[in-house]
Structure 1
Amino acid sequence: MQIPDVTVIVGAYEAMPYLVRCLESVESQTIGADRIEIVAVDDGSTDGTGEYLEDFAARSAVPTRVVRQTNSGGPSGPRNVGLGMARGRYVFFLDADDYFGDEALERMVATADRAGTDVVLGKVVGVNRGAPQSMWNATKDRVDVYNSKVIYTLSAQKLFRRELLERLALRFDEDLRTGEDALFTLEAYLRGAGISVISDYVCYYLVGRDDGKHVTKSGTYEWRFDSMRAMMELIHRLEPAGPKRDFLMVRPFTVGMLQQFGPRVLKESPEVRRHKLELAAPLMDAYWNDGVAGRIKVAERLRLACVAKGRADLLVDHLEFLRAKTVPDVIRSRRGDKLYLAYPHFRDRSAGLPDSVFEVTVPDWHGGKRIEQPAAVARRASLSRRVARRMRRDVRRLTSRLSAG
């Protein structure tokens, strides 16, 4: 039997009528039905999803195997079942609500084969919902998590080389109720042989359901903390201490922890605030440090610093300041080499927040204008002067040689 290039794994639960377009998009792939297969897992649906899958398998030119099982409670179980049955050189996890661009698989397979990469990201756009955008600036055969924005798209909707997944025995964590795909994808990023990005063609359409039953809209804040903990533990295990680990840790703190301590806190009861701080405490103690903090903008860093101290009162003051759209004063150090944004409790001894919490260490925003630390501005100005001097010197030399000739 010929080995397919791609196994498309479709986990489906209560997926009608979205499943119809989803499967049609697989049949429409320009790579050809003889180069792909579908493994579809009905996770205990009661809306006709399972029956539709079986009808599709019976009539489609795309080889399709269907598994029907009792509900597992999340997407991890069906994906793992599909992965265990996959025969393709690559696998793609296609959500039953979503659909492909016609050339998606052909382009992604060609890219992975040419570049020798283990993960390929095809451009994603949202339909009736948002979608990640920062990583689609350019099509590149090879990037990694340190020289690109791919760490900000950790969903499972990517092309993975199956040999990598089997070698790592990589599977979705069925104990996590949310964020299981981020854990899976990040490990593939970090342990694989490179990542490719396709930005000049829309490969994947991410659909927002009209009935509001999308899985990312459900769940409790306790599940979010479980997900953060798992990601931080993974980064700690795979990346040695140092700047690279600090860089990676920014992701779960800014896309994770900050969401739990944003404006919604002002509407939450004191009991919920207290419980969230209790859940955050061991994560802040274990993984929050100056190297991570220095890579985050001041307003966000200040929130996390309040969380690290377990101070709901300071956090509420800061959030109310932000809600009022008040612009903090800019304070320059005596030597002029540092800038601080004077948010509430700046140099308030009772708060116990050091000046470093308020210091501009990365490009930031103040009153709608971009600001940077003076040292960075000075380094750039110095570099510009050196380049200008070198250009003037080269012009003089060229002019001298032309005159002599």
Structure 2
Amino acid sequence: MSSNAPDVSVVIGAYQAMPYLIRCLESVEAQTLGAGRLEIIAVDDGSTDGTGEYLDAFAARTAIDTRVVHQENSGGPSGPRNTGLGLARGRYVFFLDADDYFGEEALERMVAMGDRAGTDVVLGKVVGVNRGAAKSMWKQTVERADIYFSQVKFTLSAQKLFRRELLVRLGMSFDEKLKTGEDALFTLEAYLRGNGVSVVADYTCYYLVGREDGKHVTKSGSYELRFDSARALTGLIAEHVPPGPKRDALMVRPFVITLLPQFGPGFLKQSAAVRKRKMELAAPLMAQYWTRGLAGSLKVQERLRLICVAKGRPDLLMDILRFVKEGREPELVRGERPARLWLAYPHFREGPELPESAYQVRVTEWRNGRRIDPPVAAASSLVHRFVRKARRVLRAVRPAPPARRA
């Protein structure tokens, strides 16, 4: 890499991005990292709303080294991202969506984290503007996150700082055949094959904007595309992680975020043909990757729905979905020796198709606004509280050390 290479290549794929593009570019210019340490590679993906012209005008006046590429519409975000990645020269690459914008210190803080920790992917805190955004992974700043058992697996969008050497060495690019979930596949591969993931949680690095016209890319696409994404993600995990607790922990992400919504309340309104097709598409995924470990990581309602799918029983699934849609709360059933809790959704203790174990509380649940912990976790928490209290008492009664002799 040449000595005058920038620290960060900001890759912006832009399609029909006006007027959001204006603030997006202003946020890059405002970076405290400094214009001399940045480059922008902006790819106009066949826009007809003035996006391309605005990019050209911006490139002509900005102090940041900026290259604009105009290309025919590729039909998705992967094409322009790959074009930009191929032209990038920076030590790091950040994929910035043209609708969104940075916090002023974002790149400075993320580069500092990547350099300090030596990690290949850095996550900066994201907040939503006119839309929701994931929150569970921003509780604390960490130099090296556990990709299996922490919450970072639930943020797989492309808006991360990636070390370019990793991407080049592995020949990584976005899968242009995938029309949804392509960023999740790319990011998860970097998590799995890179040298660690860092989290910057004490500063808002990225503002995720919901467009008023509702044309955000994640809102489009048929259900068939979601199954394509689920197949790609589960296949990637299986390729790089052997069977066991770590694989099960990662599989939670595609099963809960990608697959499970296809069997939500909307399933009730769909035609019999669509319901049948969804069950057919899910069947091989359930046969290959559904395990007891994965099932035990889910909430009862999630587990029950997927068990119905695994067994090919849309009738049982629809009974559970109707119960949920009506806003009903399951009865909490307690057992002793050993202590157990069940949530009595439909068909509880009615037969072998949905065994009693499927209804058992294994992770924290909420019912009628009250938290429900599985008995083992609750007992463990009680022990920890007792130990902490005992330590405080011991410190309070501990005799003072003897006075030193003059």
TM bucket (normalised to shorter chain) is over 0.9
The residue that corresponds to 1:366 in the other structure is 367
SS at structure 1 position matched to 2:143: strand
State the distance in 1 between where 2:204 and 2:95 align.
16
Q: Deviations over 1:338-361 (max 9, x none)?
A: 221111111222x61111111111
Map of 2:356 onto structure 1: 355
Structure 2 counterpart of 1:96, which letter? Answer: A
* Alignment partners' CA distance in 2, 1:380 and 1:144: 22
- Match among 100, 104, 107 for residue 105 of structure 1: 107
Aligned residues, how many?
A: 402
CA distance in structure 2 between the partners assigned to 1:113 and 1:400 by the alignment: 46
Q: Decide which moves more: 87-96 or 186-195.
A: 186-195
Whole-Å separation in 1 of the counterparts to 2:23 and 2:367:
46
**Alpha-carbon distance in 2 for matches of 1:293, 1:356:** 10
Change in Cα spacing, 1:126 to 1:384, as seen in structure 2 (3 Å) is closer
CA contact (8 A) 1:155 1:182 kept: yes
Equivalent residue letter for 1:73: G
Report the counterpart of residue 286 of structure 1 in structure 2: 288
Decide whether the 8 Å contact of 1:144 with 1:189 is kept in 2.
no
The RMSD of aligned alpha carbons is 2.1
State the Cα deviation string for residues 129-170 of structure 1 (Å, max 9, x = none): 111111111222221313531111111011111011111111
CA distance in 2, matches of 1:14, 1:394: 65
Summarize deviations over 1:27-76 as a string: whole Å, max 9, x none: 11111111110111111111121222122222211111111111111101
Higher deviation after alignment, 297-306 or 336-345: 336-345
SS in 2 for 1:322: helix
SS for the counterpart of 2:157 is: coil
CA–CA separation in structure 2 for the residues paired with 1:126 and 1:59: 30
In the alignment, structure 1 segments of 5+ residues that lack a partner are none
What is the identity percentage for the equivalent residue pairs of Structure 1 and Structure 2?
64
- For 2:188 and 2:119, the matched residues in 1 are separated by 15
Pick which of 270-279 and 48-57 moved more. 48-57
- Mapping of 1:229-378 within 5 angstroms? 229-333=231-335, 335-349=337-351, 352-378=353-379
Q: Following TM superposition, by how much is the alpha carbon of 1:378 offset from its aligned partner in structure 2, in angstroms?
A: 2.9
Residues 339, 64 of structure 1: alpha-carbon distance in 2 compared, 3 angstrom cutoff: same
In structure 2, distance between residues paired with 1:368 and 1:171: 44
- Shift in Å at residue 380 of structure 1? 3.6
Q: Hey, what's the Cα distance between the residues in 2 that align with 1:211 and 1:384?
A: 51
Alpha-carbon distance, 1:126 to partner: 1.3
Match of 1:88, SS? coil
Query: Does the 8 Å contact 1:336/1:374 carry over to 2?
Result: no
Tell me which of 5, 9, 22 is aligned to 2:11: 9
Report what 2:188 is aligned to: 186
Q: Which amino acid aligns with 1:228?
A: A
TM-score, normalisation: structure 2: 0.94
Contact 2:149/2:249, CA 8 A, preserved across alignment: no
Maintained 8 Å contact 2:114/2:121: yes
- Residue 392 of structure 1 deviates from its aligned partner by 6.1
Matched residue SS, 2:136: coil
